[in-house]
Amino acid sequence: MPERQILWQALGTAALVAMAAVVGIAPYVYYLSRVRFAHLIGQQAPWRSPVELMRAELLSIGLVVLVAALVGTLAARRYGLVGIGDRALVRQARSLLLFAAPALGVLSYLLFGRALAARVPGIYPSSLGWALGHALKGALFDEVVARYGMMTILCGVVRNHHLANGLQAVFFTVQAVLGLSFFGVRPDLSSFFVANVAATFLTHMVLGAVFAKYGLAAVMLFHLGVGIQYPLHVAMAIR
């Protein structure tokens, strides 16, 4: 196959991956900015309307996603990672996808999510539609940016996918902790908070390991299984 044709196919693949990530994050951004936490966003930038803020956020997200999609598509396999993966790899990972991922999601919710939802109302949506939107955000957007993009970049720098996995887990755990300030949650040294941070780190490590061995498609499905915690919250609230 001519080199130019290979490049165009890669660019087309990157475009599809980027579009999937944007589709995944869009409902989440709308939920934060228009449905549940508009007042918090308004406090951060009172001179701009919610619509302007949402457009600006989606634009910046689009640029990040585009870079991540290009990096993953063009460089993942070069650095010894699987890349997108295929159906055969997804089948190999079926036990993880069908059992381990939902179990991790349920355990995460029961140990940490339920308490966090009580502390910050709205961080776990109360309707099934928005809950599914949160799960899709994790599966589509987070995996493109965190594993397909960032982990690939780190793997290119350190030339070791185990070390790259640890570094991306540290980076996104710190990002998650800092992101809690948006919801008014302040880090502390309580046993609950420390255990929550440790669990977040381990979850990112597991996701990175799944990506390295089985590829983007498999880790997206795995993250979707972990996202069962969001509809679980809705179901428990109805009881």
How many degrees, rounded to 5, is the angle at CA 182 between CA 176 and CA 186? 75
CA nearest 56: which of 33, 31, 24? 33
Averaged pLDDT for residues 187-207: 95
Is residue 126 pLDDT above 70, yes or no?
Answer: yes
Q: What predicted TM-score, i.e. pTM, was given to this entire model?
A: 0.95
| Mean pLDDT (whole number) for 195-214 | 97
pLDDT digits (tens, 9 = 90+) for 56-87: 888 899 999 999 999 999 999 999 999 999 99
What mean pLDDT comes out for the span 193-222? 97
Nearest-angstrom CA–CA distance, 112 and 213: 28
State the pLDDT at residue 83: 96
Q: In the structure, what pLDDT confidence band is assigned to residue 43 with cuts at 50, 70 and 90?
A: low
Domain ranges of the chain: 3-238
Furthest-apart CA atoms within the chain: distance in Å: 60
